Structure 1
């Protein structure tokens, strides 16, 4: 199934991880690929999950019941009433929300087309691909039973919650951090990836630390992102917000911003695209990513949690990580699978 829409032109711990990303730059793609990647974003038709190379061994399996028990004891962000790991128990049952989705014969999944290796169009093949794309297709196919009933729809960073609340998408699989504020607006699945905020600067910048890069600087972040919230607490000279995080990279290329803050995985992907920028050591706001849905779609959230559990224990999560992200994050997959503490 193919529908169409348009979005704006695309522009978004340690010391060892910083060195790993810097090393990844030397073999990364050039900025020419960025120009192709940042062409218009379109809603995409359905497609089945892509098979990744099964080079990695089976991941460490964590029973979902144990995860949920741990999640119930977890306190995140310093707020006892806000547990970023808590979600509804996994289930294979079709409740009202799942039945409604099946009745309209398509599951609409909000995705990103601006994040290299997460969700982007391959300029050589024209195919949409990445870690989140594999996950989105796996979830959609598991719930609908037919890959042709999965519709991928491009969603700007700033509009993710609005698209859910307005019913323009059924779920969002788009590097979306779970936060206490967002938990009041939408429902989230159990976390599926750990994250933190990192800073990119031009290679010509003398900055060696995050503080040096941001103090008195013109800094950029995607509107509505965790990075924007963090930058509001920093002594920057000016905060520039854009619809999609990749717009910040374009602003940096044009010399209009001194630094960009974004999720660590997205920072690594930007540095992989453009060898004229680098990721600084240091990170802030450690957190987790999840899949967002309407707060009233409890049974849909439960179904997504079941798919996530199967996706991980079956080895697909690790294979997707090794295929799309490990060449640039340079960490073992288990480091990024969220386990409640």
Structure 2
């Protein structure tokens, strides 16, 4: 057992070192490369995806494969760009690691519940939005908290994930609330269940996924921000970004997008599938 934890510790330290090294300097490893051209040559696109987020990207422990809406979208976009034999490779990322891994060349693009914001546009380039999310809160059934306004009550503790813009938004919409940041959504949900906070906040699509797996918890109050998700590529990869946008338009036009959306969200209670459909 000690050997197992020693190995995990070494692996974690190595990962952190990789991310730290890739964050140093202003020029990314991809800046002098043509990512689209390289992907066409290798017939492969490597995607940074979430592996801990129900409905969007979640690791299936039975087959060790990541499954979800963004995974299916990445596969569809890969086929659209590279053809039916094109390969999509998936690398799990977190809110903290996704940009460093992109800039270091470990992944070609990020499709991982990443909201398009002016601050992030200083680091990466985004495609047009592929999912219009909105920030909301998840609480235990029967909670006296019914909206973000209730979080503003003195002493309310809100759980969020480090590196997400959700925790920053709480400072605007519930300035009196205390925010406890965890490293990922699994830890944040565990903290909510153990009573370390009264609510968990992030984008509504992610929270709906949590409520599906945990019927004792519900999304309340509706959305109080707009959080459009975009695919992120390294700055300067304009040809790749334009090709991704073209592929997005194609899968929307031929109905592939709506099929994938319905597969993952069509039967989720509280989610407005009709409003999210693309023509």
TM-score interval, smaller chain: 0.7 to 0.9
Q: Distance in 1 between matches of 2:274 and 2:128?
A: 16
- Pairing partner for 2:148 from 210, 232, 256: 210
Structure 1 residues 259-268 or 216-225, which shifts more? 216-225
Correspondence for 2:170? 231
Q: Distance in 1 between matches of 2:177 and 2:105?
A: 38
Aligned pairs, how many? 249
Q: Distance in 2 between matches of 1:272 and 1:219?
A: 21
Correspondence for 1:197? 135
Give 1:97 deviation, angstroms: 3.0
Correspondence for 2:69? 131
Correspondence for 2:104? 166
Q: Distance in 2 between matches of 1:221 and 1:322?
A: 28
Give 1:322 deviation, angstroms: 0.8
> Structure 2: which 5+ runs fail to align?
1-10, 14-32
**1:192 partner SS:** strand
With normalisation by structure 1, the TM-score equals: 0.67
Q: Distance in 2 between matches of 1:157 and 1:148?
A: 27
Give 1:7 deviation, angstroms: 7.3
**1:193 partner SS:** strand
Q: Contact conserved, 1:196 with 1:283, CA < 8 A, in 2?
A: yes
CA RMSD of aligned residues (A): 2.5
Correspondence for 2:195? 255
**2:187 partner SS:** helix
Q: Contact conserved, 2:109 with 2:231, CA < 8 A, in 1?
A: yes
- Pairing partner for 2:119 from 171, 181, 187: 181
- Pairing partner for 1:151 from 84, 89, 94: 89
Give 1:297 deviation, angstroms: 0.4
Q: Contact conserved, 2:252 with 2:278, CA < 8 A, in 1?
A: no
Q: Are 2:263 and 1:323 aligned?
A: yes
Correspondence for 2:248? 308
Q: Distance in 2 between matches of 1:251 and 1:205?
A: 16
Q: Distance in 1 between matches of 2:100 and 2:113?
A: 16
Give 1:149 deviation, angstroms: 3.3
Q: Contact conserved, 2:159 with 2:179, CA < 8 A, in 1?
A: yes
Give 1:200 deviation, angstroms: 0.9
> Structure 1: which 5+ runs fail to align?
1-5, 9-94
Structure 1 residue runs of 4 or more that deviate by more than 6 Å after TM superposition = none
Residues 151-174 of structure 1 show CA distances to partners (whole Å, capped at 9, x for unaligned) of 100001122222222222110111
Give 1:329 deviation, angstroms: 5.2
C-alpha distance 325-214 of structure 1, shift in aligned 2 (>3 A): farther
- Pairing partner for 1:219 from 152, 155, 158: 158
- Pairing partner for 2:52 from 109, 114, 124: 114
C-alpha distance 223-335 of structure 1, shift in aligned 2 (>3 A): same
Q: Distance in 1 between matches of 2:164 and 2:85?
A: 30
Q: Distance in 1 between matches of 2:100 and 2:34?
A: 22
Correspondence for 1:297? 237
**1:328 partner SS:** coil
With normalisation by structure 2, the TM-score equals: 0.81
Which one has the bigger strand percentage?
A: 2
